[in-house]
Amino acid sequence: MGKREVERAQIVCRELKKTIPEPRVELNYSNALELMVATMLAAQSTDVKVNEVTAGLFKKYQCAADYVAVAAEELEEDIRSTGFYRQKAKNIRAAMAILIAEHDGHVPGHMDALLRLPGIGRKSANVILGNIYGVPGIVVDTHVGRVSRRLGLTAETDPVKVEMVLAQLLPVEEWTAFGQRVVLHGRYVCKARKPLCDECVLMPHCDYFASQIEEL
C-alpha cells in the first residue's frame, strides 16, 4: 500500500459519490432485528429473494422471542426459498436466544458482541453497525473484493484483509458509504463475468480495464 493506492481510493470515492449519491443497503428492514435476520438470510442468496421472503416473515416474527418460540421446522419452511434454510434457521434461533439471554432481546451495537452471534460475520456486523448504529465500517462482500482488486486498491483475497486495507486508504467518515457504493457498483456495473466497462466512470483509473486493452 502506497501513495498510488491512496490516491486511487480517493478518486474512486469521489467518482462513486457522483453516480451513487445516496447509497443504501438493498435489504428491506424497519429495525435492527429485521436487518440482522435479513443479512443472515442473504448468505448464498440474493437481496431480491430475501426481500420476497421477509415481506411476510417480518409480519409473523416481530421480536426475538417469536423466533425462539416457533418450531424449528416451521421457521425452516418460512425461509426455505433463501437456500441453506436448515442452517439459517438454526443460526437465527440460536442468535435470538443469545439476544434474549444477554441483550434483553435487542441487537447489540458492538462488533465483538455481534460476532458472537451464530450466522453473523464481519460483513453482516458492519452492515448492522453502519446502518443502524452509525458505527463506521466497510462492508466487504464478493463485489467489494472483486472491484477493489480490479481497481488495484489491493491484491488481497481474504475479505477481512481487504477491509483492513481499504480502511487504511480512506478516512473513517467515508467507510460506510464507500463500502455500500462499491457493493452497488460491483452489482450493477463492475459485474463478475461481463463488467460494463464502457459505462463505468472508473474506467480511466482501472487496472483491470488497462490490462484488457493491452491484451487486444
**Active site residue ranges:** 123, 141
Q: How far is residue 186 from each of residues 23, 38, 59, 137, 145, measured CA to CA in Å?
A: 13, 20, 32, 18, 9
H or E segment at 85? helix 85-103
Coil, helix or strand for 192?
A: coil
User: Residues near 140 by Cβ (< 8 Å), separated by ≥ 6?
Assistant: 122, 123, 126, 148, 159, 160, 162, 163, 166, 179
Q: Are 93 and 36 in contact (CB under 8 A)?
A: no
CA distance 91 to 6: 39
Q: Are 41 and 50 in contact (CB under 8 A)?
A: yes
- Write out 122-143 in H/E/C secondary structure: HHHHHHHHHHHHCCCCCCCCHH
- Grid cell for residue 125: 456486523
